[in-house]
């Protein structure tokens, strides 16, 4: 099991979500975390936007990893939202984004937070997998693809 699948329940993978802007998709994520984890949606969206103001979390190739620190959160949480239509995201390649992996971490998150982000970036750098995640119409299959993925083992 990889770090992402350990914090990503199948109910937090959504495909073909209709959101016309970064604001709308962040609101959608806020509602998802509010419904599943009782975190106020405004807290989620405010923290995502606070991080986004530091620089876009768009990676390029149509993917982004919006993330934020949440006061009072005990463990990291994740969600995957795939949009029906790509949206502008200020990504380095100026490509619009349609696959977003959201990560919420405790306010004082340290190494674990960075390890999860690094692993998500590694997963999304797999071109074949990334394209399958961006086109699969079944949320359960998207979850299964993420669950089956294994990061490269570092040689120390």
In terms of C-beta distances under 8 Å and separation of at least 24 residues, what long-range contacts does 22-26 make, across chains too? 22/52, 22/87, 22/88, 22/89, 24/87, 25/81, 25/83, 25/87, 25/100, 26/66
Q: Which of 79, 126, 80 is nearest to 99 (CA)?
A: 80
Q: Kindly list the catalytic residues.
A: 67
Q: What are residue 83's DSSP bridge partners?
A: 17
Dihedral over Cα of 31, 35, 37, 43: its sign: positive
11: DSSP letter: G
């Amino acid at each position: 099991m990889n770090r992402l699948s350990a914090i990503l329940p199948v109910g937090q993978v959504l495909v073909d979500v209709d959101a016309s802007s970064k604001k709308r998709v962040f609101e959608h994520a806020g509602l998802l975390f509010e419904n599943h984890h009782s975190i106020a949606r405004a807290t989620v969206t405010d923290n995502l936007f606070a991080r986004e103001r530091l620089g876009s979390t768009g990676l390029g190739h149509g993917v982004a990893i919006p993330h934020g620190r949440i006061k009072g959160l005990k463990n990291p949480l994740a969600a995957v939202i795939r949009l029906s239509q790509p949206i502008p995201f200020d990504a380095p390649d100026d490509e619009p984004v349609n696959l977003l992996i959201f990560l919420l971490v405790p306010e004082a998150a340290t190494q674990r937070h960075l390890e999860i982000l690094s692993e998500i970036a590694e997963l999304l750098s797999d071109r074949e997998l990334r394209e399958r995640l961006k086109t699969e119409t079944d949320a359960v299959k998207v979850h299964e693809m993420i669950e089956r993925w294994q990061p490269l083992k570092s040689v120390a």
